[in-house]
Amino acid sequence: MSAESNSVNHPLPAAQRLRIVLVGTQHPGNLGSAARAMKTMGLSRLVLVAPEKAPNAESLALAAGADDVLEAAVTCETLAQAVADCRLVLGCTARSRRVQLEELLPRDAAARCVTEAAGGAEVALVFGRERTGLTNDELQLCHASVHIPANPEYSSLNLASAVQVLSYELRLALLEAQAAQGDAADVAERRDPPASHAEMESFFAQLADTLDAIDFHKGRAPESAMRKLRRLYLRAGLDAREVRILRGILADARRMAMLAGPKR
Given the rule CB under 6 A, which residues bind ligand SAH?
Answer: 92-95, 127-128, 130-134, 146-148, 150, 155-157, 159, 162
Q: Which is nearer to ligand SAH, 55 or 128 (CB)?
A: 128
Q: Which is nearer to ligand SAH, 44 or 145 (CB)?
A: 145
- Least separation, in Å, of the C-beta of 84 and ligand SAH? 20
Rounded CA-CA distance 28/26 in Å is 6
CB 72 within 8 Å of CB 198? no
Q: What string of DSSP letters covers 227-239? A: HHHHHHHHHTT-B
Q: Which is nearer to ligand SAH, 79 or 148 (CB)?
A: 148
Annotate 29-57 with three-state secondary structure.
HHHHHHHHHHHHCCCCCEEEECCCCCCCH
SS3 assignment, position 244: helix
- Least separation, in Å, of the C-beta of 91 and ligand SAH? 7
- Least separation, in Å, of the C-beta of 132 and ligand SAH? 6
- Least separation, in Å, of the C-beta of 130 and ligand SAH? 5
Rounded CA-CA distance 124/8 in Å is 18
Contacts from 247-255 at CB under 8 Å and sequence distance 24+?
A: 247/202, 247/203, 247/206, 250/206, 250/207, 250/210, 251/206, 253/210, 253/213, 253/214, 254/209, 254/210, 254/213, 254/214
CB 45 within 8 Å of CB 5? yes
Q: Which is nearer to ligand SAH, 122 or 138 (CB)?
A: 138
Q: Which is nearer to ligand SAH, 130 or 242 (CB)?
A: 130
- Least separation, in Å, of the C-beta of 171 and ligand SAH? 17
SS3 assignment, position 127: strand
Q: Which is nearer to ligand SAH, 164 or 210 (CB)?
A: 164
- Least separation, in Å, of the C-beta of 124 and ligand SAH? 12
Rounded CA-CA distance 113/142 in Å is 13
Q: Which is nearer to ligand SAH, 130 or 199 (CB)?
A: 130
Q: Which is nearer to ligand SAH, 26 or 206 (CB)?
A: 26
- Beta sheet of 74-76, edge-to-edge order: 74-76, 46-49, 18-23, 123-127, 88-92, 144-146, 103-104
- Least separation, in Å, of the C-beta of 30 and ligand SAH? 8
- Least separation, in Å, of the C-beta of 106 and ligand SAH? 8
